[in-house]
Amino acid sequence: MSRIVIEATNISKQYTLGATGTGSFRQDIKRWLGKKTGRPNDPFFYGSNSAADTLLALQNISFQVQQGDCWGIVGANGAGKSTLLKIISRIIQPTTGTVKGRGTIGSLLEIGTGFHPELSGRENIFISGYLLGMKKAEIKQQFDEIVAFSGLEKFIDTPVKRYSSGMYVRLAFSVAAHLQADILIMDEVLAVGDIEFQKKCLDKMQQVVNDHLRTILFVSHNMQAVTHLCRQAIWLQQGKLVAMGDTSQVVDQYVGSLQQNRLRLQWQHEAEAPGNEYVRILSMELVPELHSPESVIDVRTPLHVKFTIRNLSENILLNAGLHLFNYAGECIFDVASKPVWCRAGIVEGVCDIPGHFLNDGAYYLSLIIVRDTSIPLYYFEAGIHFEVADYREDTTWFGKWKGVVRPQFPFRFEPYPALRDTQSIDH
């Protein structure tokens, strides 16, 4: 199958910041006058609303998608991923450029689009289905299947406002999962629902992918899911297409770009170094044990935190502490070195964080220098920033791995020996 079903040519989307949102009648009159007098860019007519107030959400994006392909679209928040999906879904118009396509489109940009809290599950299945572009016969025929998929047979005539948020999501996704459009457009729909249900959804998507008949465009921050489901990927950054092609390559490039974190700090002149009259931080560095220079820190990577400080006091009892935080501000750990007696001069420290310990996510490290094991001398906050990428083997589960840490403890799991050798237990 290599029939092209979506062809995007040079699409750009420009937003005017402020002006349209405030709905100023005067601005519009001025702009209109500007157009009429043939000076559309005259600052008098445009006032403050000049090029500086416009945002290019997408710039000259071109690509082709073939039937049966599953494309992942990755990029940071605000990279224009959703804008791109909205343009392809015909929700908004591009400022320039064209998207042409073959076949019907079903777009799932939000879970539960068009759901009304006062209406029953049954009624909402119909409204949501119609909104997504399903035909009456399609819904009627699949109705029982949709309800069964959601597992809400008992509550189908209850107003959805009485549903728990999990039930709501399940019903909403069940409708979406039965959408028969030729091209499916999905935005981060997996970010919701309980684990069991997420698994169900991914399986459903995998089915669609395996059919090779329907085309999927899939935006997600879940790199595992993208790598697993999609063969092609697009990486957008600030509205520009940075990379396009084979998923694993694009995702690697993208994840690599996220890790231009601050792994190393060093001060040439001690006077500029952070510190006070007791201690100065001379350097701090995170050294990952990577397999190759191109690879990124992932959950398997052992890390070494190295730092040097200058101690400015004679003969004091010093020890250092390292605090690791995630970006939610939670302290993951607080490790302290053994106290040592130090003379004035340079003091070095190394702390080893083993691989298979941290969960995936973004972290920062703070360093504290303590005197007499109880008096803080200096607290150097958020010196090192780094990210740990996800890595999984032997699993088909791609949702967010739970837990603050992801250690691999010795774990024995096997059939009980007594039973293993018994051919028959009971007949």
Partner 1 sequence: MSTPSRERSLPIYPPDNEPWDWEVTNRTSWRTWSFKALWAYRHLLFRFVKRDFLVNYQQTLLGPLWVVLQPVLTLVVYVLVFGKWMGIKTGDAPPVLFFLCGILLWGLFSDLFTGTAFLFTYYGSLYNKVYFPRLVIPFSVAGTQLLRFFIQLVLLVFVLGYYSWYRSFAFTPGLWLLSLPVVILLTALFALALGLIFCILTARYRDLSNIVHLGIRLFMFVTPVIYPLSVVPASVRWLANINPLSPLFEVFRYALIGQGLFTTGQLIYSTLFITMLFLLALVWFNKQAARLIDVA
Report yes or no: 233 and 72 within 8 Å, Cβ to Cβ.
Answer: yes
Residue 375: other Cβ atoms inside 10 A: 11
54 is a contact residue toward partner 1 (CB under 8 A):
no
Q: How far is the CB of 299 from partner 1 (least distance, A)?
A: 29
Nearer to partner 1, 136 or 304 (CB): 136
Choices 30-38, 62-70, 148-156, 201-209 (CB under 8 A): range interacting with partner 1: 62-70
Choices 45-53, 118-126, 356-364, 419-427 (CB under 8 A): range interacting with partner 1: 118-126
9 is a contact residue toward partner 1 (CB under 8 A):
yes
99 is a contact residue toward partner 1 (CB under 8 A):
yes
35 is a contact residue toward partner 1 (CB under 8 A):
no
- Per-residue tokens: 161: 């406002």
Q: How far is the CB of 93 from partner 1 (least distance, A)?
A: 5
Cα–Cα separations (whole angstroms), residue 122 to 102, 147, 266, 315, 396:
32, 9, 63, 77, 33
Choices 102-110, 191-199, 357-365, 377-385 (CB under 8 A): range interacting with partner 1: 102-110
Of 354, 270, 350, the closest CA to residue 311 belongs to 270
Tell me the one-letter amino acid at 90.
R
Nearer to partner 1, 77 or 424 (CB): 77
116 is a contact residue toward partner 1 (CB under 8 A):
yes
Choices 89-97, 201-209, 267-275, 314-322 (CB under 8 A): range interacting with partner 1: 89-97
Nearer to partner 1, 119 or 368 (CB): 119
Choices 58-66, 258-266, 370-378, 404-412 (CB under 8 A): range interacting with partner 1: 58-66
**Which parts of 217-256 interact with partner 1 (CB under 8 A)?**
231-232, 244-246
Of 234, 231, 304, the closest CA to residue 11 belongs to 234
Phi, psi for residue 52 in degrees, rounded to 5: -65, -25
Of 16, 24, 184, the closest CA to residue 101 belongs to 184
Q: What is the CA radius of gyration of the chain?
A: 28
Nearer to partner 1, 101 or 339 (CB): 101
**Which parts of 143-172 interact with partner 1 (CB under 8 A)?**
159
Q: How far is the CB of 89 from partner 1 (least distance, A)?
A: 5
Measure the CA–CA gap between 368 and 390, rounded to whole angstroms. Answer: 29
Non-local CB neighbours of 152 within 8 Å, separated by 6+ positions: 121, 163, 167, 170, 171
Q: How far is the CB of 74 from partner 1 (least distance, A)?
A: 16
Nearer to partner 1, 107 or 366 (CB): 107
Q: How many residues line the site for partner 1 (CB under 8 A)? A: 59
How far apart are the two ends of the chain, measured CA to CA in Å? 53
Report yes or no: 328 and 382 within 8 Å, Cβ to Cβ.
Answer: no
Nearer to partner 1, 161 or 304 (CB): 161
28's enclosing H/E stretch is: helix 25-36
Report yes or no: 386 and 358 within 8 Å, Cβ to Cβ.
Answer: no
The per-residue b/e assignment along 121-140, b for 16 or more CB within 10 angstroms, e otherwise, is bebbbbebbeebebeeeebe
Measure the CA–CA gap between 253 and 10, rounded to whole angstroms. Answer: 23
Choices 19-27, 39-47, 354-362, 392-400 (CB under 8 A): range interacting with partner 1: 19-27
Chain residues that interact with partner 1, rule: CB under 8 A: 2-4, 7, 9, 15, 20-21, 23-25, 28, 62-64, 66, 69, 86-105, 107, 109-110, 113-114, 116, 118-119, 123, 126-127, 130-133, 136, 159, 231-232, 244-246
